[in-house]
């Protein structure tokens, strides 16, 4: 199986200083993929800059020129969480263009699946605003591009970042062509993502939120896949699966309070891979969102690539959460979600 890797050193040029979302994240991932011999098993995919027209599939012209202006003036803070350097606008064009390139490579059969290791991340960016470390919504831009270019009718976005992808949800809230399924810690930043947010108009039911209490780990996420994500995806019948892959639900990650392990992320990738194989000839694109504990992030992405390459096992150098015995019960939550979405 051919797994594609989108990466370019340009992604290191979005200089956020001492911010938790910084270039060391990608450096740690790439070093780990090199040291473990995995990188040479991947098919390199060259990213390109997204055009302003492509960004405008999702964002307002005002938002796009605002980001360009801030970069032109030397960068600065856009909100309390989100900072730019002079190169950030160009890097953000390559982040969106990187996910587009990954989707094109998969749609055109050059690789079976791909992972775009890009930054800045994207899932919090709304049509009008940057927020939560995100400038442009990379995965939404790639989804719109794929819908138009390949005349697709149904794309599934699965978002397992520990934060709710409010931007992606907003962009596709009234669009029946894109199903957005998110697992996230709740209540938590950014505050959206309750069970009752299900889409509007003809898109009612194509937003599926799985707001999890703090403390959930491998077992709970597995239940979520079995009971909600798998039946919802099978009913929707996507022609392409895109994944907002954030690794900040790892137990060692200090931005949130979940308890997933590296093996748990590997199992989620396996479940997603299985869905893509069954529903859309394996067409599957991952893109990086969060994940801030460098060795957990690097090992989890390697475990994801192991699955994409068809390997049956991978290492978990960090092991299980020392707190896994304290995971909450989520049966009632899952029953409520199944009821709202009329899932079997």
User: Where along the sequence are the contacts to Zn ion (CB under 5 A)?
Assistant: 161, 163, 246, 248, 290
Burial (Cβ within 10 Å: 0-12, 13-18, ≥19) of residue 280? buried
Nearer to Zn ion by Cβ, of 211 and 290: the residue is 290
Q: Which of 63, 123, 124, 341 is catalytic?
A: 124
- Write down the least CB distance from residue 343 to Zn ion, Å: 26
Distance (Å, rounded) from C-alpha 327 to C-alpha 329?
Answer: 7
Distance (Å, rounded) from C-alpha 84 to C-alpha 76?
Answer: 5
The question of whether 124 is a catalytic residue gets the answer yes
Sign of CA dihedral 274, 277, 279, 282: positive
- Write down the least CB distance from residue 298 to Zn ion, Å: 16
Query: Which residues pair with residue 113 across a beta bridge?
Result: 3, 284
Nearer to Zn ion by Cβ, of 4 and 193: the residue is 193
- Write down the least CB distance from residue 67 to Zn ion, Å: 20
Nearer to Zn ion by Cβ, of 248 and 306: the residue is 248
The neighbour count for residue 293, using CB atoms within 10 Å, is: 20
Burial (Cβ within 10 Å: 0-12, 13-18, ≥19) of residue 2? middle
- Write down the least CB distance from residue 163 to Zn ion, Å: 4
The two beta strands, 284-288 and 240-245, are parallel
What six digits make up the tokens of 254? 């200090």
Residues 6+ apart with CB under 8 A from 106: 4, 112, 113, 114, 240, 283, 284, 285
Nearer to Zn ion by Cβ, of 220 and 248: the residue is 248
- Write down the least CB distance from residue 255 to Zn ion, Å: 7
Nearer to Zn ion by Cβ, of 45 and 125: the residue is 125
The residue written with tokens 């990086």 in the block is: 288
Q: Which sequence positions are flagged as catalytic?
A: 124
């Amino acid at each position: 199986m051919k797994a594609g890797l989108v990466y370019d050193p340009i992604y290191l040029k979005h200089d956020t200083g001492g911010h938790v979302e910084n270039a060391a994240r990608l450096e740690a991932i790439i070093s780990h993929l090199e040291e473990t011999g995995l990188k040479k098993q991947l098919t390199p995919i060259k990213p390109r800059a997204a055009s302003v027209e492509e960004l405008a599939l999702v964002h307002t012209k005002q938002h796009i020129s605002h980001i360009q202006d801030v970069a032109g003036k030397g960068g600065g803070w856009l909100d309390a969480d989100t900072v730019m350097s002079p190169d950030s606008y160009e890097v953000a064009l390559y982040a969106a263009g990187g996910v587009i390139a990954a989707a094109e490579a998969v749609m055109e059969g050059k690789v079976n699946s791909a992972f775009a290791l890009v930054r800045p991340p994207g899932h919090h960016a709304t049509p009008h605003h940057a927020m939560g470390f995100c400038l442009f919504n990379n995965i939404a831009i790639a989804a719109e591009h794929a819908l138009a270019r390949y005349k697709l009718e149904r794309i599934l976005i699965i978002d397992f970042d520990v934060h709710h992808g409010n931007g992606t949800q907003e962009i596709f809230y009234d669009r029946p062509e894109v199903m957005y399924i998110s697992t996230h810690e709740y209540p938590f930043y950014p505050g959206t993502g309750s069970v009752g947010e299900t889409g509007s108009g003809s898109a009612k039911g194509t937003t599926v939120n799985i707001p999890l209490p703090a403390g959930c780990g491998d077992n709970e996420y597995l239940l979520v896949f079995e009971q909600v994500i798998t039946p919802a995806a099978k009913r929707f019948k996507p022609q392409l699966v895109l994944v907002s892959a954030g690794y900040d639900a790892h137990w060692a990650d200090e931005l949130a309070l979940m308890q997933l392990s590296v093996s748990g992320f590997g199992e989620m990738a396996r479940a997603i891979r299985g869905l893509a194989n069954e529903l859309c000839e394996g067409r599957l694109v991952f893109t990086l969102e969060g994940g801030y504990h460098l060795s957990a992030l690097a090992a989890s992405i390697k475990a994801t690539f192991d699955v994409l390459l068809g390997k049956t096992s991978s290492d978990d150098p960090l092991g299980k959460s020392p707190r896994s015995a304290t995971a909450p019960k989520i049966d009632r939550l899952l029953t409520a979600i199944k009821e709202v979405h009329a899932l079997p």
